[in-house]
Amino acid sequence: MIKRARHLAFAPYVAFLAVFLGWPAFYVFRSALAPISASRSPMLEAVTGQFRGSFVYSLQLSFVSAFLGLVLGAMVAIALVRLQHVRGLRNIVVGYSSVAANMGGIPLAFAFIAAFGMQGLATRLLREVNIDLIGWGFRISDFWGIVLVYLYFQIPLMTLVLVPALDGLRRTWHEAAQSLGASARQYWRMVALPILMPAIFGGFLLLVANAFAAYATAFALSSGSSRLVPVQIRFFLQGDTITGKTNLGYALAAWMVILTTALVIGFQLLSRRAERWRR
């Protein structure tokens, strides 16, 4: 009796997840797998037809912004280690990183329009020093513009992933390597980097997933006309009037779930591996 009551304690939470997360996800896949006609399946159509380009575009954007976020975020994390004698610096940078990593949506799009848009302040200031972004064809709603905006949350997220990993590098390892005659470069290449690799690669996957799922910022930057997959899904499913094509929207959503699931699982496995050294 008591035992059963204890099981029941989990019931509300489990039921909540099942109804509001499980069922919607199930519905997406069920609709995505329902065939349009005898020979065409929406899942296939979503990645072969005209939407192939959308996926390629979304993935390119995610990978490029994740890669640049990785490089710059790592540089910030290393700078913090190198300058650790400066009091308070680390708290400020890590603190603001946790703010910026959660930034997104409409306000972030506004900030970048105000800075790097046609009439942006940064655009204007850069022109003063003969860097003519607009003249070079840079537009905030284009590929590289969205990459630039996404870097605002990608860089700090990578910093937040890497700072604890760098903390985990023990001084004794460095000393051991040195006493065996390793140069600084050899220490980084043969000791530190291999240990950091799971954290770096895991962080990269997290950044890809992060950019891939983002929607609001790109939507606001392009006034709703972007080729990104999430914006395309909206096009198919918002009105619910285009008959016969709605399943295609669900198929796009299903592919998004599949891709982010793979990325998140990869991240989880790698971060577990990364933590092994931290005990």
Partner 1 sequence: MRATRLVWWLVLVVVGLFYLVPMLSMARFAFQRIPVIKLSLDNVFDRWTVEPLFDTFGDPNFRKAALLSVMLAVATAVATSVLLLPTMVVAHLRSSRARKLIEVSAVLPFVVPAIALVVGFAGAFRNTFPFLIRHPLGLVPLYVITALPFTHRTLENGLAALDLRTLVNASRSLGAGWVRTMVAVIAPNMRASIATASFLAFTVVLGEFTIASLLLKNTLPLYLAYAQGQSPQGAFAVGLVLVVISTVFVALSNRFARTVKT
One of 50, 178, 183, 261 touching partner 1 (CB under 8 A): 261
CA distance 86 to 126: 31
CB of 128 to partner 1, least distance (A): 10
Please say whether the beta carbons of 198 and 165 come within 8 A: no
Minimum distance, C-beta of residue 145 to partner 1, in the bound complex (Å): 12
Q: Which of 34, 56, 114, 242 binds partner 1 (CB under 8 A)?
A: 114
CA dihedral 130, 132, 135, 139 (to 10 degrees): 180
Q: Residue 112 or residue 204: which is nearer to partner 1 going by CB?
A: 112
**Maximum Cα–Cα distance across the chain:** 78
Q: How far is the CB of 154 from partner 1 (least distance, A)?
A: 11
Q: Would you say 209 or 274 has its CB closer to partner 1?
A: 209
Considering only residues 65 through 104, tell me which ones interact with partner 1, judged by CB under 8 A: 72, 75-76, 78-80, 82-83, 89, 93, 95-96, 98-100, 102-104
User: 39 or 134: whose CB is closer to partner 1?
Assistant: 134
Which 10-49 positions form the footprint of partner 1 (CB under 8 A)?
Answer: 10, 12-13, 16-17, 19-21, 23-28, 31
Q: How far is the CB of 208 from partner 1 (least distance, A)?
A: 12
- Cβ neighbours of residue 89 under 8 Å, at least 6 residues apart? 80, 83
Q: Could you tell me the smallest distance in angstroms from the CB atom of residue 11 to partner 1?
A: 9
Is 9 a binding residue for partner 1 by CB under 8 A? The answer is: yes
Based on the shown chain and the rule CB under 8 A, indicate whether residue 183 belongs to the binding site for partner 1: no
Interface mask (CB under 8 A) for partner 1, residues 198-217, using x and -? -----------x--xx-xx-
d(CA 148, CA 186): 34
Q: To which H or E segment does residue 165 belong?
A: helix 143-167
**Least CB distance from residue 167 to partner 1, whole Å?**
15
Least separation in angstroms between CB 60 and partner 1: 17
Region from 46-54, 196-204, 232-240, 269-277 binding partner 1, contact rule CB under 8 A = 232-240
d(CA 149, CA 123): 14
Backbone angles phi, psi at 88, to 5 degrees: 85, -20
Q: In which residue are the tokens 């009796």 written?
A: 1
Taking the C-alpha atoms of residue 244 and residue 94, their distance in angstroms, rounded to an integer, is: 49
Q: For partner 1, how many residues bind (rule: CB under 8 A)?
A: 77
The single residue among 199, 254, 270, 274 that binds partner 1, judged by CB under 8 A, is 254
d(CA 273, CA 86): 31
- Residues 127-166 close enough to bind partner 1 by CB under 8 A: 151-152, 155-156
With a CB cutoff of 8 Å and minimum separation 6, the contacts of 233 are 249, 252, 253, 256
Tell me how far CA of residue 140 lies from CA of 40, 121, 122, 153, 234, in angstroms: 38, 13, 12, 16, 21
